[in-house]
Structure 1
Amino acid sequence: MALPLSFLLALVVLSCKNTCSLGCDLPQIHSLDLETSEEKEGGALTLLKNMRRIPTFSCLNYRKDFSFPQEQLEGEQVQKAQAVAVLHEMTQQVFNLFSTQEAFAAWNKTLLDTFLSGLYQLLDDLKDCGSKQVGVEEAPLRAVRKYFHRITVYLKEKKYLPCAWEVVRAEIMKSFSSSANLYTRLRSME
Structure 2
Amino acid sequence: MQPVHLFLVGGVMLSCSQDSSLDWGASGSLPLLRRETAPFFGELKSIPGHQCLRDRTHFRCPWKKGPITQVKLKEATSCYSQVLRLSLDLFGTETSRDAWSERALGRLLHSLSRELKVLDRTREQDQSCPLPFALAICTYFLGIFHYLKVKTHKPCAWEIIRVEMQGALSTFPLSGRRSPRKRRSSLQTTLLS
1:137-164 superposed Cα distances (whole Å, 9 cap, x missing partner): 2111111111011000000111100000
Change (3 A) 1:125 1:145: same
Q: TM-score, normalised by structure 2?
A: 0.73
2:130 matched residue in structure 1: 137
Distance between the aligned counterparts of 1:163 and 1:50, measured in 2? 16
Equivalences for residues 20-39 of structure 1 within 5 A: 21-22=21-22, 25-26=25-26, 28-29=29-30, 30-33=32-35
Distance between the aligned counterparts of 2:60 and 2:23, measured in 1? 33
Change (3 A) 1:49 1:23: closer
Equivalences for residues 1-190 of structure 1 within 5 A: 21-22=21-22, 25-26=25-26, 28-29=29-30, 30-33=32-35, 43-69=36-62, 70-71=64-65, 72-74=67-69, 76-80=70-74, 82-130=75-123, 132-134=125-127, 136-179=129-172, 182-183=173-174, 185-188=175-178
Aligned length: 160
1:39-81 superposed Cα distances (whole Å, 9 cap, x missing partner): xxxx32111112111111101110010111123333x52341x
Which has more radius of gyration? 2
User: What is the aligned-residue identity percentage?
Assistant: 24
What runs of 5+ residues in structure 1 fail to find an aligned partner? 1-16, 34-42
What runs of 5+ residues in structure 2 fail to find an aligned partner? 1-14, 183-193
Q: TM-score, normalised by structure 1?
A: 0.74
1:188 Cα deviation (Å)? 4.4
Equivalent position amino acid for 1:154 in 2: Y
1:64-104 superposed Cα distances (whole Å, 9 cap, x missing partner): 10111123333x52341x22222111111111100010011
Shifted more, 43-52 versus 151-160: the winner is 43-52
Distance between the aligned counterparts of 1:90 and 1:49, measured in 2? 20
Distance between the aligned counterparts of 2:85 and 2:128, measured in 1? 20
CA contact (8 A) 2:78 2:128 kept: no
Name the one with the larger helix percent.
Answer: 2
